[in-house]
Structure 1
Amino acid sequence: MRSIGEMARDSGLSVSALRFYDRVGVLVPAWVDPVSGYRWYGPEQVEEARLLARLRRAAMPLADIRLVLAGWSGTDTGLVRRLLQAHLCRLEAGLSDAREEFSALRALLDNREKPMPSPRTAAVRLSVPAPELADALDAVRFAAGRDPELPMLAGVLFDIEGGTLDVVATDRYRMAVARTGTSGYDGTRVQLVVPTPLVDAMRALLSGEEPVRLAVDGDRVTLESGAGQTAGPCLDHDFPDYRRLVRTPDGSRAEVDTAAFREAVVKGPVVTDDASGPGEPAAELTLLQVTGDAAVALGDDRGSDRNQVAVNRAYLLHALDAGARDRLTLEIGAPTVPVVIRRPDDEHTFTLLMPVRLEN
């Protein structure tokens, strides 16, 4: 007999997935301890579990998985072969449809008028309080992208407008926004994407209390402080329109003690993201939900409550650290809506964590 942990190791299915398939009657343990509730699987169930893992990776519907498992051990494999062939045909048809849609989208992009980008010619000069800029960069730097296929995200957006400087970073799975005040510039809106090495060099110069000077000349940005000066070219890419991306439906809010909540997340239950790509390690997810008494509960079972929102646990911990406040506000809505982590005293500094779709 194998414990559920041993079965997960031998089959390629996660513990949470095995629990799910037990609940829906697809792969029921050979024996469940009536006292402890521990699940135990027979040796003959390993092959079934491995088959189930393959069918999951092939995105076969649960109803068809039931039939495949039911007919797998029989002498007449005709039904199993027909089910596999039908699913393969669906996948090939779906891929063909997707190729046609992407071809149409590429044609739209090719035919779309794209004015030549005009280089920045007007010089921009402004002052920024060093402590505020340091705090803003610390609040967003963790979310900067690292994917070489998306070079426009490999930096921090500096968005200058109306006496404020918004700094924004995103790697698609999380987005962090922070704001600081400025002085000395009241011109039109200016946006530049500062590469992360230059951002780090800027941050190293923000040790004092005096304002620092930020200058933009063409595609080059310079920061000067009492501790020194650093400069470099901006990234030659457009950053996504983050103002559209941060418009999320209102969710339930709960204020947490940051240190206590962080410890609870570290020690608390996790579920495994089984939808990771080939060769990628499965991510650990934390299930979040605001309770009726305006507290945040951590779930331990992906199927126990449909209102739970799953987020990457490591990303959640990064966001809590970047929040840099004794108390933070979590805004949690539907399972498909980003979780928002805000500073109670600063509405313009926040992090969005993209929810992870739970595969059952």
Structure 2
Amino acid sequence: MTDSDLMPIGAFARIVGLTASALRFYDDAGILRPDHVDAQTGYRFYSEEQVVTAQRLRELRELGMPLSDVSRFFAAEAASDSAESLRLLNDHMRRVSTENARSQQVAARLTESLQSKASASLCALPGPIFAAAVDQLLATTTDDPSFPVLNGVRLCVEPDALTLAATDRYRFTSRTLVPSRSAGTTWAGTVSGATLRNTVSVIRRSPTVTLAAGDGFLRVVLEDGTVCQCTLIEEPFPDTSDFLESLPSAIHRCMVDRRQLLRTMEQRPLEKLGLRLTSSGIQVLAPDDVPDLEGTGDDSELTLWFELTTLHPAMTNALGNDLILDVSASDQPVILRSADDGDFTTIIMPCQAPAH
């Protein structure tokens, strides 16, 4: 190979992804010698055959392999001893994995220490029950960039209860849980639905979770010490107390079999579903014959129409099978209640009857 076939250090550095200073260092360390050094100028020149070696060197250093092991690695490759090269690489990666695990443990301890000073404990609950409640409330949220709070879940902590609430402006849902342990404090905040969705799967697998509040975040501490941090939405949550107090008193009340109604909706996916409340139960208004739903009612009769996209999620996420509908009028919000495993309330808006 003539000098004209060789590459100066700058050109070689660009090809292999190393700096010229790094190449000089590896030359001085005896790891990667240049093919030729000009005796008068001291300029280093490299051959095309050295490109693969230099790239391999860069990769090994990116993995953090010390130069002593890099030297042994190249010696094994020169001897065509692939088994030794693999052994050196695997031994190094095991050390890296152990060091990373140790660093993560130290970081977790520091994080826990810092966050515990910046947050206040609220209450503890069974993880699966808290996760199920969060799932139910998330079904009522919506992603509206102009109204970010609609993608959040409101948590209100009292000494003896935790209430979750959410709304998408067409539905309002609340769920109350009884903590297994309470700090006796009162707190309220709107938790980002996006961060809750990212954590609910791990919360569900923890027998117990502890809630703690900080400045701008809610911490969910799992039983194994893992900390899930959820951001809070600063935008004010709609004043639900005024909304609930402003609802008209129920004039009609009936109990309905949730499974039957869900099955009816799923077998007849209509855009709108009509329900006629009677003293004997509930009749479904559909183009074909539909058996009356099991349930009880009062002596009055009233017909309600609902969008399928409003009624079906409310029924799907309700608790238990026996649901109570509190109705004031066909054009007023309907309150859907259940009381299995803690109370669950959803307020849904009827719609106009379909045009014929």
- TM above 0.5, yes or no, is yes
Residue 72 of structure 1 aligns with which residue? none
Question: Any conservation in 1 of the 2:164–2:175 contact (CA below 8 Å)?
Answer: yes
Aligned partners of 2:221, 2:176: CA distance in 1, in Å? Answer: 19
Secondary structure of 2:336's aligned partner: strand
In the superposition, relative to structure 1, how do residues 251 and 262 fare at CA in structure 2: closer, same or farther (>3 Å)? Answer: farther
In the superposition, relative to structure 1, how do residues 155 and 139 fare at CA in structure 2: closer, same or farther (>3 Å)? Answer: same
Which of 337, 340, 349 is 1:345 aligned to? 340
Structure 2 unaligned blocks of 5 or more: 1-117, 288-299
In the superposition, relative to structure 1, how do residues 347 and 123 fare at CA in structure 2: closer, same or farther (>3 Å)? Answer: closer
Please tell me whether residue 292 in structure 1 is matched to residue 279 in structure 2.
Answer: yes
- 1:9-40 deviation line (CA, Å, top 9, x unaligned): xxxxxxxxxxxxxxxxxxxxxxxxxxxxxxxx
**Identity of counterpart residues, as a percentage?**
21
Please tell me whether residue 154 in structure 1 is matched to residue 151 in structure 2.
Answer: yes
Please tell me whether residue 196 in structure 1 is matched to residue 193 in structure 2.
Answer: yes
Question: Where do 1:4-19 residues align within 5 Å?
Answer: none
Residue 351 of structure 2 aligns with which residue? 356
- 1:193-234 deviation line (CA, Å, top 9, x unaligned): 111111113321233463211111111111111363310321
Aligned partners of 1:269, 1:131: CA distance in 2, in Å? Answer: 32
Aligned partners of 2:342, 2:278: CA distance in 1, in Å? Answer: 23
Residue 213 of structure 2 aligns with which residue? 216
Aligned partners of 1:268, 1:341: CA distance in 2, in Å? Answer: 22
Aligned partners of 2:259, 2:123: CA distance in 1, in Å? Answer: 36
- 1:61-114 deviation line (CA, Å, top 9, x unaligned): xxxxxxxxxxxxxxxxxxxxxxxxxxxxxxxxxxxxxxxxxxxxxxxxxxxxxx
Secondary structure of 1:236's aligned partner: coil
Q: Which amino acid aligns with 2:182?
A: G
Residue 335 of structure 1 aligns with which residue? 330
Aligned partners of 1:263, 1:184: CA distance in 2, in Å? Answer: 40
Question: Any conservation in 1 of the 2:319–2:340 contact (CA below 8 Å)?
Answer: no
* Greater Rg by CA: 2
Residue 165 of structure 2 aligns with which residue? 168
Give the count of matched residue pairs: 222
Q: Which amino acid aligns with 2:166?
A: A
Question: Any conservation in 1 of the 2:319–2:339 contact (CA below 8 Å)?
Answer: no
In the superposition, relative to structure 1, how do residues 329 and 346 fare at CA in structure 2: closer, same or farther (>3 Å)? Answer: farther
Secondary structure of 1:325's aligned partner: coil
Question: Any conservation in 2 of the 1:269–1:300 contact (CA below 8 Å)?
Answer: no
Which of 240, 243, 255 is 1:242 aligned to? 240
Question: Any conservation in 2 of the 1:288–1:298 contact (CA below 8 Å)?
Answer: yes
Aligned partners of 2:171, 2:265: CA distance in 1, in Å? Answer: 18
Residue 311 of structure 1 aligns with which residue? 306
Secondary structure of 1:323's aligned partner: coil
Cα deviation, residue 346, structure 1: 5.9
Structure 1 unaligned blocks of 5 or more: 1-120, 271-283
Cα deviation, residue 291, structure 1: 0.7
Residue 262 of structure 1 aligns with which residue? 262
Aligned partners of 1:145, 1:216: CA distance in 2, in Å? Answer: 24
Secondary structure of 1:308's aligned partner: strand
Which of 125, 132, 135 is 1:138 aligned to? 135
Q: CA RMSD in A?
A: 2.7
Which of 116, 120, 130 is 1:123 aligned to? 120
Q: Which amino acid aligns with 2:131?
A: A
Aligned partners of 1:152, 1:209: CA distance in 2, in Å? Answer: 28
Question: Any conservation in 1 of the 2:175–2:342 contact (CA below 8 Å)?
Answer: no
In the superposition, relative to structure 1, how do residues 312 and 348 fare at CA in structure 2: closer, same or farther (>3 Å)? Answer: same
Q: Which amino acid aligns with 2:260?
A: A
Aligned partners of 2:193, 2:329: CA distance in 1, in Å? Answer: 33
Aligned partners of 1:269, 1:195: CA distance in 2, in Å? Answer: 32
Cα deviation, residue 306, structure 1: 9.5
Question: Any conservation in 1 of the 2:319–2:344 contact (CA below 8 Å)?
Answer: no
Question: Any conservation in 1 of the 2:324–2:336 contact (CA below 8 Å)?
Answer: yes
Please tell me whether residue 229 in structure 1 is matched to residue 227 in structure 2.
Answer: yes
Aligned partners of 1:269, 1:215: CA distance in 2, in Å? Answer: 43
Cα deviation, residue 322, structure 1: 0.4
In the superposition, relative to structure 1, how do residues 357 and 257 fare at CA in structure 2: closer, same or farther (>3 Å)? Answer: closer
